């Protein structure tokens, strides 16, 4: 057996709210499958399964606020003993249906007792067929279709009362219950969006970032190194490559930045990893977090996995997929937790140098500034070249300036040989 716990989706995260399950008890899951959605300060995150097996038990219901580390479900992994239907003797008498105890939450049982609802006649719509409070309320008073302007909607009694209390416009709410019935969780989500949507995406995210960066500044002894890189060859290669392509297939400069960092980390792996429990853990895999600004304020830096093994076209495809999902709050848990180093680029906003703050438990962050025409001497000749500033922020507990300098030197070498990227 394996326990599926609420993952830590960032150094600032203490708890998340379960939005919905994508599985039920008895479902077979594979490692990497999205099995739940969790609402956090940084948006709704798709939670992936880290074990393959069968969902044995679901322990929390949608709408619950769950601290990091809480067991959410139990998974029967490969090799675990399990009863198989074929092993049950065919002559075994079936248990009378009336003796089976209905699978219902404690609150549902309490409400059913108060309203005189027979639980044995209900079909649960909760995780694993669990009968929840709304199933009981629907049975006691079936959801009527009510008129909201020109629209008729079906809504449970509890949801209708809650909508009235929270002043939620039902015509703008999409029901997620059976046959599109609007339920309590739909109203709560609509109210949260109405009351605090802007705050959640802007101020809320800023608070989360502030907590993580304050922790970083308190605990991580940063050191900074900076170098200037002649981008003549890289930009010429990019221009010539894009001229041969259709518009939709062209590469952005960010692709070169990401691929060059990945190759430099392969040359100097000491900056690729984590500082955990007072130990430096170097990661064999290179998963680069790429900083993305959010429309409502704040930023996230989801991971692009195994960047060193990707082509430039593969990285471009990953960015096209990742950026809109990040800005719409549809990231996966592995994208929020797996980054081994972060890349941030503010050159498009005119910033010349970026001195970032490391996102723990990572041990390094590389920032790129604006590419500017500057005097540059090469082979004894002075000319004007496109020059970019690269700044490294690194954790002095895990590395030192010598290793940081080696990384920046490797980074420069890769930009001077763009055809090898």
144 pLDDT higher than 60: no
pLDDT in tens, 174-198: 887 767 788 777 887 777 665 555 4
Sorted by sequence, the CB contacts under 8 Å of residue 363 that are 6+ apart come out as 271, 273, 274, 275, 280, 341, 394, 395, 397, 398, 399
Contact 154, 161 (CB under 8 A): no
Beta strands in 291-397 (DSSP E): 292-293, 299-300, 303-304, 330-332, 341-345, 364-368, 372-378, 381-395
pLDDT in tens, 200-255: 555 666 777 777 788 888 999 999 999 999 999 999 999 999 999 999 999 999 99
> Which domains are delineated in the chain?
2-85 (2.40.50.100), 103-191 (4.10.320.10), 221-420 (3.30.559.10)
318 pLDDT higher than 80: yes
pLDDT in tens, 42-91: 778 899 998 899 999 999 998 888 888 899 999 998 655 544 433 333 33
Decide: pTM greater than 0.85. Answer: no
d(CA 96, CA 344): 64
Secondary structure of residue 251 in the 3-state scheme: coil
Q: Do strands 43-48 and 330-332 pair parallel, antiparallel, or not at all (unpaired)?
A: parallel
Contacts by residues 251-255 (CB-CB < 8 Å, ≥ 24 positions apart):
251/312, 251/313, 251/316, 252/316, 252/319, 253/371, 254/290, 254/319, 254/345, 255/312, 255/315, 255/316, 255/319
Other CB atoms within a 10 A radius of the CB of residue 400 amount to: 12
Question: pLDDT over 90 for what percent of the chain?
Answer: 48
Measured in whole angstroms, how far is the alpha carbon of residue 298 from the centre of its chain? 15
Kindly report the average pLDDT of the chain as a whole number.
83
Half-sphere exposure in the Cβ direction for 337 (13 Å, CA): 13
d(CA 62, CA 134): 12
User: How far from 280 is each of 27, 270, 361, 398, 402, CA to CA, in Å?
Assistant: 38, 9, 10, 6, 17
d(CA 101, CA 181): 27
Contact 289, 360 (CB under 8 A): no
Tokens of 14: 């203490």
Report how far apart the first and last C-alpha atoms of the chain are (Å, whole number).
44
pLDDT of amino acid 54: 93
Q: Taken in order 181, 185, 188, 194, is the CA torsion positive or negative? A: negative
Contact 385, 374 (CB under 8 A): yes
Query: In residues, how long is the chain?
Result: 421
Secondary structure of residue 181 in the 3-state scheme: coil
């Amino acid at each position: 057996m394996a326990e599926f716990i609420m993952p830590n989706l960032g150094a600032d995260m203490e708890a998340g709210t379960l939005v919905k399950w994508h599985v039920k008890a008895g479902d077979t899951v594979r490692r990497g499958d999205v099995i739940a959605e969790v609402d956090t300060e940084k948006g709704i995150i798709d939670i992936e399964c880290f074990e393959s097996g069968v969902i044995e038990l679901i322990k929390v219901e949608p709408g619950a606020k769950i601290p990091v580390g809480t067991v959410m479900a139990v998974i029967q992994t490969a090799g675990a003993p399990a009863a198989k239907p074929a092993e049950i003797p065919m002559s075994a008498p079936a248990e009378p249906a009336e003796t089976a105890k209905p699978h219902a939450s404690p609150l549902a049982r309490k409400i059913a007792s108060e309203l005189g609802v027979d639980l044995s006649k209900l079909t649960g719509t909760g995780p694993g067929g669990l009968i929840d409070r709304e199933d009981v309320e629907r049975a006691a008073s079936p959801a009527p279709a009510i008129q909201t302007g020109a629209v008729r909607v079906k809504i449970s009694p509890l949801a209708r009362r809650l909508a009235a209390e929270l002043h939620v416009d039902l015509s703008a709410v999409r029901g997620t219950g059976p046959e599109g019935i609007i339920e309590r969780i739909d109203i709560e989500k609509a109210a949260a969006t109405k009351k605090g949507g802007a705050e959640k995406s802007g101020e809320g995210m800023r608070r989360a970032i502030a907590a993580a960066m304050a922790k970083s500044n308190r605990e991580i002894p940063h050191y900074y190194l900076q170098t200037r890189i002649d981008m003549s060859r890289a930009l010429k290669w990019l221009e010539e490559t894009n001229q041969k392509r259709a518009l939709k297939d062209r590469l952005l400069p960010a692709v070169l930045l990401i691929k060059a960092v990945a190759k430099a980390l392969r040359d100097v792996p000491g900056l690729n990893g984590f500082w955990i429990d007072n130990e430096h853990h170097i990661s064999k895999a290179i998963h680069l977090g790429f900083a993305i600004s959010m429309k409502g304020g704040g930023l996230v830096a989801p991971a692009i996995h195994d960047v060193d093994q990707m082509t430039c076209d593969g990285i471009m495809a990953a960015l096209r997929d990742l950026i809109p999902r990040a800005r719409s709050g549809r990231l996966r848990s592995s994208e929020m937790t797996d980054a081994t180093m972060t890349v941030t680029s503010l050159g498009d906003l005119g910033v010349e140098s970026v001195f970032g703050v490391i996102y723990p438990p990572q041990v390094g962050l590389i920032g790129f500034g604006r590419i500017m025409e500057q005097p540059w001497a090469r082979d004894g000749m002075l000319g004007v070249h496109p020059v970019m500033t690269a700044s490294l922020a690194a954790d002095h507990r895990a590395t030192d300036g010598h290793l940081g300098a080696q990384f920046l030197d490797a980074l420069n070498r890769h930009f001077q040989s763009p055809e090898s990227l």
